């Protein structure tokens, strides 16, 4: 097996390993509220508040809010009907479907012997669902969910928690995330990074970094 210059790859989950597109989810569930993508995007921004620290949703991510409290908080703040929000939050686990193209090169990383970890902002109901329902999670040696540690990206503390828990030096890891702010935070803390745009782009960047064998490279 060829030695790779990367000891581990650390994954964000939503939007990288699993589908996460709130506007698409809203369009599918709320035709009475959104008929265009712009309308769905506006509703998504109102509900999720661009994942701004201190917002309702980030407190859900952090584990300080649970359901049904988050449903009521969102309804009160946004003015949206509680049944609609309850239905939306119930639908999120199924929406978080594995991205097949990403899973294919996660499997290549596993075969190459690269350590795989996750570092994800994730409320506990959805974290539990992913661990229980999706075989791809078996490829990860360990991981940090924000709800378990009371910290969220892009805070420096959660990156320190992850490095300590994984027993890894950030300079020997590649961190993948689809949010530019999380990528920038990791870079400032000494992590190698790739900002995920799509599975093909990310695969190419990992190969360039020497973190992932090319498809035709035998393990």
User: Is 125 in the same domain as 84?
Assistant: no
User: Is 33 in the same domain as 14?
Assistant: no
Among positive and negative, which fits the CA dihedral 181, 191, 110, 203?
Answer: positive
User: Is 181 in the same domain as 113?
Assistant: yes
Domain that holds residue 32: 22-95
Does a structural domain hold residue 173? yes
Picking from 95, 120, 153, the residue at the C-terminal end of a domain is 95
Tens of pLDDT along 84-143?
Answer: 999 999 999 999 999 999 999 999 999 989 999 999 999 999 999 999 999 999 999 999
CA–CA distance, 86 with 9 (Å, rounded to integer): 35
Across 60-172, the runs of DSSP E, i.e. the strands, are 115-120, 142-145
Domains in the chain, number = 2
189: CATH = 3.40.50.1000
Picking from 95, 130, 153, the residue at the C-terminal end of a domain is 95
Please determine, for residue 6, whether its predicted confidence score (pLDDT) is greater than 90.
no
Tens of pLDDT along 22-51?
Answer: 999 999 999 999 999 999 999 999 999 977
Q: Work out the pLDDT band at 2, boundaries 50, 70, 90.
A: very low
Angle, CA of 168, 166 and 186, to the nearest 5°: 65
User: Is 69 in the same domain as 106?
Assistant: no
Does a structural domain hold residue 76? yes
């Amino acid at each position: 097996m060829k030695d790779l210059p990367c000891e581990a790859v650390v994954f964000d989950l939503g939007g990288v390993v699993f589908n996460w597109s709130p506007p698409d989810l809203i369009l599918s569930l709320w035709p009475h509220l959104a008929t265009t993508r712009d309308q769905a995007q506006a509703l998504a921004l109102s509900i999720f508040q661009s994942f701004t620290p201190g917002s309702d949703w980030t407190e859900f991510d952090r584990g300080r809010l649970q359901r049904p409290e988050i449903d009521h908080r969102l309804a009160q703040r946004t003015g949206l009907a509680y049944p609609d929000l309850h239905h939306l939050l119930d639908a999120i686990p199924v929406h978080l479907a594995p991205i097949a193209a990403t899973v294919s090169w996660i499997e290549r990383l596993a075969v190459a012997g690269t350590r795989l970890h996750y570092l994800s902002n994730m409320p506990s109901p959805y974290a539990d669902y992913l661990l229980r329902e999706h075989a791809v999670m078996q490829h990860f040696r360990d991981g940090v969910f924000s709800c378990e540690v009371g910290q969220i990206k892009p805070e420096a503390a959660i990156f320190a928690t992850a490095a300590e828990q994984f027993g890894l030096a950030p300079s020997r890891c590649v961190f993948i995330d689809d949010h530019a702010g999380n990528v920038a935070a990791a870079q400032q803390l000494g992590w190698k990074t790739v900002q995920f745009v799509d599975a093909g782009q990310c695969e190419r960047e990992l190969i360039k970094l020497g973190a992932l064998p090319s498809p035709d490279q035998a393990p």
